[in-house]
Amino acid sequence: MVQHIRKSALAILGLTLLLASCTSQKAVQKQKEIYVDTSSISGLPAITPDTVALQHISSNTELNLIVDGKEISLKGKLRIKRGEGIQISITPLGLVEAACIEFLPQKIRFINKLLKTYTEVPYYESSAIGLSGIKYNVLEAIFLNHAFLPDGRPAYNGLDEMRIEDKDGCYHLYTKGETSMQYDFSIEKSSGNLVSCNGLSSTGESIRCDYSDFRDIDDVSFPNEICISFKGDTSVTLEFELKKTNNKSFNFSSRSVNSSYRQQNVGDFIKTFK
């Protein structure tokens, strides 16, 4: 009887170990199926942007500006110079500049030339449009369509700090660690282009970017359709359809305002679009 119990106990123990081993093998196999070796994606265009080729972006644009559901369609121009600024000039009739949005290294500026008002706000105070915790170098990476780390460094500087999955024809990169914003990027496997980027802060603010209609600018693939949405106290979406995009050099100059302009806080400025 005792011997029979011992045999039964050994059988149960063996079965338990076998099941544990199978579970462990399945878990390891699942890990291999989900995670991608960083070396296999390190050379993709979205990971290693050509920092020499695209120093300048200048393009005419059809712009849809959507503020808390209210949509305005405008003509304008998008100008980007690496390290200096992102400028969105709004020209409703295609000639005279009526307003300007500038993302500068230290602050964001909104200028309404028709109403003679302007707003300046540092990034750390920009929760109203979902940008709290986002610095200029992050915005520059977003507008120039490449993956980055939460502090704005290019993704190739820290691929080992990201979780990478291969699914649905895309590589999905997820940032890890304790940061104010967590991001995930979708990179098309066939082209290596970044097609979407999503960021979410611990306080609920978010940013979403979608890119499509890629064409070459000086042999570098770049999207002609860009949609960027910021959600904080207010929801703001910028939909760009770029036309005649080029990489010709230009001197970046921030718009100036004189004493005839009245300064507003960002909340009051946003109300002018509602």
- Picking from 160, 150, 166, the residue whose alpha carbon sits closest to that of residue 36 is 166
Cα–Cα–Cα angle for 36, 138, 110, rounded to 5 degrees: 150
Burial 181-204 (b: 16+ CB within 10 A, else e): bbbbbbbbeeebbbbbbbbbbeee
Pairing of strands 206-217, 85-90: unpaired
Average pLDDT (110-124) is 89
Cα 192 from Cα 183, distance rounded (Å)? 18
Is residue 65 within 8 Å of residue 71, measured between CB atoms? Answer: yes
Q: What is the pLDDT of residue 16?
A: 34
Question: pLDDT band for position 266 (50/70/90)?
Answer: confident
Q: What is the pLDDT of residue 144?
A: 93
Q: Is pLDDT above 50 for 33?
A: no
Q: What is the pLDDT of residues 192-209, one digit of tens each?
A: 999 999 998 887 888 999
Q: What is the pLDDT of residues 74-84, one digit of tens each?
A: 899 999 999 99
Q: What is the DSSP letter of 254?
A: P
Question: pLDDT band for position 128 (50/70/90)?
Answer: low
pTM for the structure as a whole? 0.81
Domain positions in the chain: 56-271
Cα–Cα–Cα angle for 232, 81, 259, rounded to 5 degrees: 70
For the chain, helix (H) and strand (E) counts, in that order, are 3, 14
Pairing of strands 206-217, 220-231: antiparallel
CATH topology of domain 56-271: outer membrane lipoprotein receptor (LolB), chain A (2.50.20)
